[in-house]
């Protein structure tokens, strides 16, 4: 039995349309929509492991007052918090579960088994505070976390923040390469043009 060619074409167009909508639905909801970009890099020094080669955070959150906000899009070590309302935001938690053998364990703060508040200096943590304005894209910074999981004793966690123009340019270039048709791209292109005259405080 021969299938109807028109039906096949219609089905193909429908599938392609759904694919492209899925790829490029990462857009501002309005001209007043804003986004925060955060880079969170994890390095684990863990003996006897089965998850060493792909050390990435499972989730990263921001805080706005008492409200915790999860990322809306993730690519490699970049986390995107899109369509946020204006206001002040700060770094929340970095969440990652380390698998060992048949069970599970995690490095964590004493309050949570699956998350940490990176032990940044007071100065670094202050740098993660951002005042988000309508229709803007803000780079919160590049957080680097190293977890030394010892066979005996406590887990040692170190963290540092990089928030300079070079780190922001890397974040913008990565976005433009991987999301070239996103509605956020134009805002980031304009931001990149202005970076040479901006001092990040």
Per-residue pLDDT band for 96 (boundaries 50, 70, 90) equals confident
- B/e letters for 2-16, b = 16+ CB within 10 Å, e = fewer, are eeeeeeeeeeeeeee
Domain region containing 65: 32-162
Predicted TM-score (pTM) of the model is 0.75
Per-residue pLDDT band for 6 (boundaries 50, 70, 90) equals low
**In-domain check, residue 190:** no
**In-domain check, residue 92:** yes
**In-domain check, residue 81:** yes
Domain at 124, CATH number: 2.60.40.10
Per-residue pLDDT band for 61 (boundaries 50, 70, 90) equals very high
- Number of structural domains in the chain: 1
Across 94-102, average pLDDT? 56
Tell me what percent of the residues of the chain surpass a pLDDT of 70. Answer: 65
**In-domain check, residue 104:** yes
Across 57-61, average pLDDT? 86
Mind listing the pLDDT tens digit for each residue in 135-167?
999 999 999 988 776 655 567 788 899 999 999
**In-domain check, residue 196:** no
């Amino acid at each position: 039995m021969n299938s109807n060619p028109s039906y096949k074409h219609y089905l193909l167009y429908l599938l392609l349309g759904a694919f492209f909508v899925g790829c490029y639905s990462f857009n501002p909801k309005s001209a007043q929509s804003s986004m925060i970009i955060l880079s969170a890099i994890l390095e684990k020094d863990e003996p006897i492991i089965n998850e060493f080669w792909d050390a990435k955070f499972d989730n990263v959150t921001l805080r706005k007052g008492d409200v915790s906000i999860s990322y809306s899009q993730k690519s490699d070590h970049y986390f995107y918090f899109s369509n946020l309302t204006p206001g002040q935001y700060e770094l929340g938690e970095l969440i990652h579960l380390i698998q060992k053998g048949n069970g599970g364990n995690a490095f964590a703060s004493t309050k949570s088994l699956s998350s940490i508040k990176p032990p940044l200096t007071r100065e670094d943590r202050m740098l993660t505070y951002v005042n988000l304005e309508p229709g803007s894209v803000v780079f919160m910074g590049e957080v680097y976390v190293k977890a030394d999981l010892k066979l005996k004793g406590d887990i040692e966690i170190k963290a540092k923040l990089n928030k300079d123009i070079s780190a922001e340019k890397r974040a913008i270039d990565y976005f433009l390469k991987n999301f070239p048709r996103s509605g956020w791209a134009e805002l980031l292109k304009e931001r990149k043009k202005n970076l040479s005259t901006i001092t990040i405080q």
